Amino acid sequence: TDEIMQQEIRPLVAVDIIEQLHRQFAILSGGRGKDGAPIITFPEFAGFSEIPDDDFLNVVTYLTSIPSLEAASIGFIIIIDRRRDKWSAVKASLTRIAGAFPGNLQLVFVLRPSRFIQRAIADIGIKLYRDDFKMKVPIIMLNSVSDLHGYIDKSQLTRELGGTLEYGHSQWIHHRTAIENFAMTVKITAQMLQTFGTDLAETELPNDVQCTEELLSSHTDHHSKLKDELKLAVKQGATLLTCIREPVTRSANSKLSPDELENVATVERLLAQLDETEKAFDQFWTKHHLKLEQCLQLRHFEHDFREVKLTLDNLMETQAGFADIGDSVTRVENLLKEQKHLEEKGQEPLEKAQSLALHGEQLIQNNHYAVDSIRPKCVELRRICDDFTNETKKKYDILGKSLELHKQLDKASQWCEAGIYLLASQAVDKCQSQEGAETALVEIEKFLVTAKEHQLSNPKEFYNQFDMILTPEIKANAQKIVQKLEDVQEMFDKRQVSLKKLAAKQTRPVQPVAPHPESSPKRASPKITRPAA
């Protein structure tokens, strides 16, 4: 692109002087001298002296600008054909060429007037006026084209000069305008690509999804149009190349003139520049397009992150509001149901968060340009997910402990009530006998065994097991039940002591007492049964 932009801009192109070129008062036939010097021919032209100076200078300047610098540096060969003219025309031509020719001259050939008198005048005139022409190169006067063939090979001369070089002026003009149009197309295309590339490089990346999508679509459309322009330019160059090579393609015996070969080289060079420009543009576009796609990926990621994080924050806030651990079995069971519902409600957001974090890590692995922005968000998403999961487990653990506590308290309370009921149901009159006391003791012992089954044998240990989750209210309730356990246990202990004493009294042997003579047998029975009372 830089090579095309910096190449020399020629002041004239064929289209600027198309009318003057069509007059054909000077031509660049494509022939070369033996050393490769380009040949410019001034054919017979009746109104040569009437051509305006500007027109003459423009045409000659244009013709000398066409050959390569290497060929032009050898010097131009001028052939002036004035066979049908007068000496005055020869003189005028030499004077004009000497005063206005912009290139480096090597030789000047003049085909002198063919009429005898004019030829004689020309011989004399060239001797008299040679110095006036101010030419530092040889001026060779020729009588005929045969003489010219001694200096220049016939293959480098047109048919008008007795040569075999194929030259059509209209086709030459057509080729020149086509080559210059193609060169301009390449230049304009390169400028468009450069301008577009500059615009892309200076484009600020949008901060939201919609603007990024619109920018990506706009740039992609513009890129497609430029690629179409490139294809058209390449097609134009290929068609032009085919046209220039057409004589050789048509006939194997034909050869392209040096100028035509230079035209081929020029078009090939322009096509190569176009190809290099396209490759450079494609490389730049690939990077830019990738950046735009990554920007769109980032904006989608950021948008999804905001939505997921908002949902997770609300979820965490709801979970944080579940501070109640319940004051009864029924309440704790309801709280567990609510916690289960919250866990199920959070399942979808958690899955989205994990999926989004995974997507973010994939973007990082794919060398996304915004790694420093994506990685912290992935870490944040996983942290919130872990926090919710850990907090949920903690809630379940606490509520599980609370449920176990309240079930134990309920069982303890029910055990106390059952114990009190047992003690109350033991009729006093039935316990007066040894059998009755022992039966009551067995009932109590059986009941006390259930205390061990419910781990209520050590109330303080039971209390300490759940101390960490106790609220002041539950503590007070637990302390009441523990105190009740102790009270009931004390009641059982006292009852056991009493019953054991009664049982012991009933098993003590009765000493025989001799009845008093005056005693009535009816009074002996109360004395024996009194201890039982």
Q: What digits encode the pLDDT tens for the residues 244-276?
A: 988 888 777 778 888 888 899 999 999 999 999
Query: 162, 34, 42, 163: which is closest to 101 by C-alpha?
Result: 42
Q: What is the pLDDT of residue 514?
A: 45
Q: What is the pTM of this model?
A: 0.69
The percentage of the chain sitting over the pLDDT mark of 70, rounded to a whole number, equals 86
Q: What is the pLDDT of residue 191?
A: 92
Delimit the domains of the chain by residue range. Answer: 14-165, 174-291, 304-404, 407-503
Query: 462, 439, 447, 463: which is closest to 414 by C-alpha?
Result: 447
Q: In what order do the strands lie in the sheet with 39-42?
A: 39-42, 76-81, 105-111, 139-142
**Tell me: domain 304-404, CATH 1.20.58.60, correct?**
yes
> Is the model's pLDDT at 108 over the cut of 80?
yes
For residues 59-89, b (16+ Cβ closer than 10 Å) or e, as one string? bbbbbbbbbeeebbebbbbbbbbbbebebeb
Of these ranges, 455-459, 477-481, 496-500, the one predicted with the greatest mean pLDDT is 496-500
Q: What is the pLDDT of residue 457?
A: 46
Q: What single letter denotes the amino acid at residue 333? A: E
Instruction: Please give the average per-residue pLDDT across 64-88, as a whole number.
Output: 88
Instruction: Please give the average per-residue pLDDT across 39-44, as a whole number.
Output: 93
Tell me, which fold does domain 174-291 have in CATH? Methane Monooxygenase Hydroxylase; Chain G, domain 1 (1.20.58)
Contacts of 341 (CB under 8 A, 6+ apart): none
Instruction: Please give the average per-residue pLDDT across 326-333, as a whole number.
Output: 90
Q: What is the pLDDT of residue 230?
A: 92
- Residue 424 φ/ψ region, left for φ over 0, alpha for ψ in the -120 to 50 degree band, beta for the rest: alpha
Q: What is the pLDDT of residue 93?
A: 83
Residue 78's φ and ψ, nearest 5 degrees, are -105, 130
Q: What is the pLDDT of residues 144-198, one digit of tens each?
A: 899 999 999 999 999 999 999 989 999 999 999 999 999 999 999 999 999 999 9
Whole-number Å distance between alpha carbons of 366 and 373: 14
Q: What is the pLDDT of residue 478?
A: 79
Q: What is the pLDDT of residue 341?
A: 93
Whole-number Å distance between alpha carbons of 320 and 108: 105
Q: What is the pLDDT of residue 159?
A: 92
134, exposed or middle or buried, with CB in 10 Å at 0-12, 13-18, 19+? Answer: exposed
> Is the model's pLDDT at 510 over the cut of 50?
no
Kindly state which CATH superfamily the domain 14-165 is placed in. CRAL-TRIO lipid binding domain (3.40.525.10)
Q: What is the pLDDT of residues 456-472, one digit of tens each?
A: 546 566 667 777 777 78
Q: What is the pLDDT of residue 462?
A: 64
Which is more confident, 518 or 138?
138
R_g over Cα of the chain: 60
The DSSP annotation for 365-382 comes to: HTT-TTHHHHHHHHHHHH
On average, the pLDDT of the chain sits at 84
Whole-number Å distance between alpha carbons of 322 and 399: 11
Contacts of 448 (CB under 8 A, 6+ apart): 492
Residue 528's φ and ψ, nearest 5 degrees, are -75, -40
Instruction: Please give the average per-residue pLDDT across 429-453, as a whole number.
Output: 83
Contacts of 232 (CB under 8 A, 6+ apart): none
Residue 42's φ and ψ, nearest 5 degrees, are -105, 95
For residues 228-251, b (16+ Cβ closer than 10 Å) or e, as one string? eebeebbebbeebbebbbebeeee
Same fold, 14-165 and 174-291: no
> Is the model's pLDDT at 512 over the cut of 50?
no
Instruction: Please give the average per-residue pLDDT across 404-431, as a whole number.
Output: 86
Q: What is the pLDDT of residue 115?
A: 54
Cβ(26)–Cβ(40) below 8 Å: yes
Whole-number Å distance between alpha carbons of 249 and 246: 5
Instruction: Please give the average per-residue pLDDT across 114-143, as a whole number.
Output: 58
Whole-number Å distance between alpha carbons of 448 and 442: 10
177, exposed or middle or buried, with CB in 10 Å at 0-12, 13-18, 19+? Answer: middle
Q: What is the pLDDT of residue 519?
A: 41
Residue 106's φ and ψ, nearest 5 degrees, are -115, -50
- pLDDT confidence bin for 290, thresholds 50/70/90: very high
Instruction: Give strand ranges (E) for 2-88.
Output: 39-42, 76-81
> Is the model's pLDDT at 125 over the cut of 50?
no
> Is the model's pLDDT at 23 over the cut of 90?
yes
Cβ(456)–Cβ(407) below 8 Å: no
